[in-house]
A and B are shown apart, each in its own frame.
Chain A
Amino acid sequence: MAVIPQTVDALTSATEPREGWRAAVGDFILQRPLGAAGAAIILLMVALAASADVLAPFDPLTTDYGAMLSAPGPGHWLGTDAFGRDVLSRIVYGSRTALMVGLGASLIGAVFGALIGVGSAYFGGRVDLVVQRVMDVFFAFPVIILALAVVAILGTGVGNVILAIATPMVPRCARVVRASALAVRETPYVDAARAAGFGHGRIILRHMLPNVMAPLLIMATAFLGEAILLESSLSFLGLGVQEPTAAWGLMLRGAAVEFAESAPWMAFFPGLAISLAVFGFNLFGDSLRDALDPRLRTQ
């Protein structure tokens, strides 16, 4: 008697696809090795940022005038800068700034972009028209110019840099989300939600937003890499994070330019860190897009 249900159970568990995040992570690594490499770079960066206090051999702010401009070697693995500060330590601490600005900016950009995009698609008509024209105005400016303008208004500093980088991301995110939300808007379940007497806010947040999460997530990941690059650019121009905070873009300016020929490590290693970080986020973002796109999903 009891044998039959057991066999049925065994059958279903054998044929059912593996579920749970463990299986999902495993599949991702196997099917998208490049994406997994990107994820590894990101994880390394997060680990560096989280344990900077332990990992960094020197204090990133301490100047050592006895060891100014020393080449990479046993004492200072990646050399020192014009003030004798350890380049490796500054890169390790700089990952904090990069991640904070990257995460902060893409989070703010994604949240506001998503709300504007879904709201614009949901209300449609004149609201949509006006919102999209405002977004067009923002689109007209190159990203870096827009960010520079915001810094010029708000001033420098980590918080303001985050806002400055988030600003150009909002319209881009809003546009992508709106495109998906327009399709969602026409689905019967949104009509059904309206017929059930739900308010606009509830329909936008609870019924439509979760259905545009896939493109939103991809945008946010792609933004992360870009935000890090943008932060470096702003800092390089002197309009981002200010000295003496450790930031990668900051390490490329000033003395690094002056001594580019005699002490190239000052610029080389932070530049490498920026490239690697952006590369990692882009690889991961691309693979994430492929993994979440049902049309590209393999059996």
Chain B
Amino acid sequence: MAKLLQVNHLRTTFATSTGLVRAVDGVSWDVEEGETVALVGESGCGKSVSALSIMRLIAPPAGRIESGEIFFKGRDLLRLSDEEMREVRGSEIAMVFQEPMTSLNPVLTVGRQLTEGMEIHYRTQPAAARARALKLLEMVGISDPERRLPQYPHHFSGGMRQRIMIAMALACNPQLILADEPTTALDVTIQAQILELMRNLSRELGVAMLIITHNLGVVARYADRVNVMYAGRIIEQATAAELYANPRHPYTLGLLHSVPRLDEPRRARLDPIEGQPPDLTRLPPGCAFQPRCKYRVERCVEAPPLVPLDAAGHCAACWEAANIASASRVTA
């Protein structure tokens, strides 16, 4: 399959009063056509900033994409003019936000918000746009769309609003949807419904998805490939199945161990990762995870590169990756 999105050495920084923050520090990853890729990590590790960088919605003057390339269908998005980039947004790459309660404009009807993008990007006639909006609402599982179209966002529940956000994202037939924590603000049962819906739609329509989440359960069920981020860098890259079976970075291992499991005795102690994520203005030398790492060796003061470990494309940025592989098998 062809690469739909290819991010190369992307570096996004924010100038703050306490110093320059490298929110995203030279990351490279890609999304193939129709594929679902996950960006996983704790709050503040640079997941959302990565997505906003792709959309070129980093707020200047504090935020800046310092270097790197973002190839989308062969074009470098960072070299497009503002006008060209505006054409890409919404029509080729769409975004679903975290907060369904506030991501819809309270003073515009749902119908208006669904049709606006089509009318802007494709000059769709209002009647045709309305017909498509009805179909979209049906697709995302909202019953009685005729009656729902002229209603305002406050008439809808959180889960329904997220469905509407997904319908809005699909309105212009994008090839890629960036979903930034799409289910974090929802109830657990609704989360599953929304994720199922997104997976089914992405398969049916062949839309690629980037799911940004801190929820490893989401990743396991819905992603094809996973990028684990820590302190602005990608520290492990693998297919979802491989990552679970065979984590090679101590941080990934820690994340997996810190999630409660239903198949273990209830008394079993959770194994949290000790310490706090580092302050991005004062990163430790070398590997950013080393102060918290159980497998630390002397060499960790040198930053480990993200290197492939096998032919299947499993990569990890750890000097001890080979030793951890055996360790994780033992504990599993």
Contacts and interface: CB of A to CB of B under 8 A. Distances in A.
Contacts of A197: 86-91, 117, 120-121
Interface stretch (B94-102, B128-136, B266-274, B319-327): B94-102
Interface stretch (B104-112, B203-211, B294-302, B304-312): B104-112
Interface string A132-144: 0000000000000
Given A188-B102, A189-B102, A195 B86 contact: no
Interface residues of A, number: 20
Interface in A163-218: 187-189, 191-199, 202, 206-207, 210-211, 213
B55 A195 contact: yes
Nearest to B98: A188
B168 A188 contact: no
B296 to A, nearest CB: 39
Interface in B168-191: 168
B61 interface: yes
Interface string A117-142: 00000000110000000000000000
A192 B107 contact: no
A211 B105 contact: yes
17 contacts: A125-B60, A188-B97, A188-B102, A189-B102, A189-B106, A192-B97, A193-B105, A194-B57, A195-B57, A195-B94, A196-B95, A197-B117, A197-B120, A198-B90, A206-B116, A211-B106, A211-B107
B61 A125 contact: yes
B89 A196 contact: yes
Contacts of B95: 192, 195-196
B200 interface: no
Contact of A196 (B90, B106, B108): B90
A187 B86 CA distance: 20
Contact of A202 (B55, B61, B120, B168): B120
Interface string A27-47: 000000000000000000000
Contacts of A189: 102-106
Task: Indicate the member of A126, A191, A202, A213 with the most B CB atoms within 10 Å.
Answer: A191
B120 A207 contact: no
B22 to A, nearest CB: 22
